[in-house]
Amino acid sequence: MNWLLIGEIGYILILALVCLRIIYDTRSTTKTVAYLLFAVFLPFIGMIFYFSFGINYRKRKMYNKKLSGNVLFLENLKKNSLVYTEESLHQDIPAMQDNSELAHLLIKDLDSPLTKRNRVKLLLNGENKFPEVIQALREAKHHIHIEYYIYENDVIGGEIEQILIAKAKEGVEIRFIYDDFGSRSIRRKMVKRMRDAGIQTSAFHKIRIIFLANRLNYRNHRKIIIIDGKTAFTGGINVSDKYINSKKGQVYWRDTHLRIDGPGVYYLQYLFLCDWIFCCEEKLSPDKYLTLCPSDDNTLVQIAASGPDSPQPSILFSMLQVIYLAKEEILITTPYFIPGDSLFDALIVAALSGLKVRLLVPGKADSLLVNAAARSYYQDLLEAGVEIFRYEKGFVHAKTMVADGKLSVVGTANMDYRSFDLNFEVNALIYDSRFGEQLRQVFYEDIKDARKMDLKAWKDRPIYLVLGEKVARLLSPLL
């Protein structure tokens, strides 16, 4: 009996079944091709990789429960916010009138209300964010909801922990969701201390075997703090000492965060409660937490969110609409730039149409492969007229967009496949010329610490670098 032939036939059958599974279970054509190539050209390794980290592996089973748990909150959201949204849409505000299509997109896609009467504060870096957060936490009266990708067991993490423990002793309800991968340093001692103090805690996707965890693909990348249903913080800054830039010799971290006071908190609260139901299956009353608390300002705010449980890549759609609606200028800051075809083409079309498109990215990224994949997009963008700046003062981790100085986006989502399809993300959209001009000036301050890329010099790079970047780009759907 020819065992070698039987083995070859068996391998071909297994490979064919794996390829059929990839085709059936992967929505994106680009990702489908990438996984197919990986499975075919890396025997067994490619198959094991797909079933360990596959984009849609167990997705429906994992998230049906999350979606069913959201129904009650979604009904409450629709009931209380649609009338409020219609009032906001008719505000005599240029930023709103010029971007009403974007507002309608998020209302129809996510039931995300457009909210007025907000006060929004821009917080640059951890040294500005954390004093604001600490003060707001100390003033909490009813509840504190916290959801973070990275929460470190360090000085700032310990200081916030002590405040939470003190507030819990005062009778304040505290719920804390941490990503089990990103916040692994707190999983034992700190989480136990919080629970012992009466703080309700839950890991988002408990990881049992770290190196064989398919759920590594479905990280909760959101950074949300909600206090009493009327104050919220969100943006790119995790809870970690490195964001404060206080240690000598450390890499300078440049990041951006927001404080929102007002009805803009409403949808962030909805997102947190849905995630909490998924983690803990605790039945909560929507009316107790979903409230509209107007501030003394009138900034328009809307929230975009997406994740593996979303029927559409809503954050990607919102970014595309921001670009489509811009008429003069688009300013983008992102630490990870693997845009995919739709976003890549939109930026090129905008630049060729005469818009000023400027992109700020890290000079040195924290991942060689991701950085190589990002560089593979630069030449086409430069040739179309996009101006690219590489930040040199340290590592730029901010995720922001400004269109025409009127519409601003600040959030957790990078411009890459992982943020658009694999991670739970959240962005805040601010329809306000005052805020837009402020964020616009921050962008121009940041590029003073960056080097503008030159197309001719970029084209003269060694061929081996170009080839490596093109190979990395082939793998980009898997990064």
d(CA 434, CA 411): 18
User: How far are the Cα atoms of 102, 305, 310, 317 from residue 109, in angstroms, in the given order?
Assistant: 10, 10, 10, 10
Q: Which of 363, 334, 338 is nearest to 421 (CA)?
A: 338
Question: What is the DSSP secondary structure assignment for residue 239, as one 8-state letter?
Answer: B
Question: What is the DSSP secondary structure assignment for residue 96, as one 8-state letter?
Answer: H
Residue with tokens 């997406």: 306
Angle at 415 between CA 362 and CA 204, to 5 degrees: 105
Active site residues: 221, 223, 228, 397, 399, 404
d(CA 241, CA 229): 27
Tally of CB atoms within 10 A around 14:
13
d(CA 284, CA 111): 20
Q: Is 474 exposed, middle or buried (0-12, 13-18, 19+ CB in 10 A)?
A: middle
Backbone phi, then psi, for 100, in 5-degree steps? -65, -30
Determine the 3-state secondary structure of 212 from DSSP.
helix
Determine the 3-state secondary structure of 104 from DSSP.
helix
Backbone conformation region of residue 171, classed left if phi is above 0, alpha if psi is from -120 to 50, else beta: left
- Work out whether the CA dihedral 132, 138, 140, 144 comes out positive or negative: positive
Give the H or E element holding residue 435: helix 433-446
- The angle that helices 29-41 and 3-25 make with each other, rounded to 10 degrees, is 170
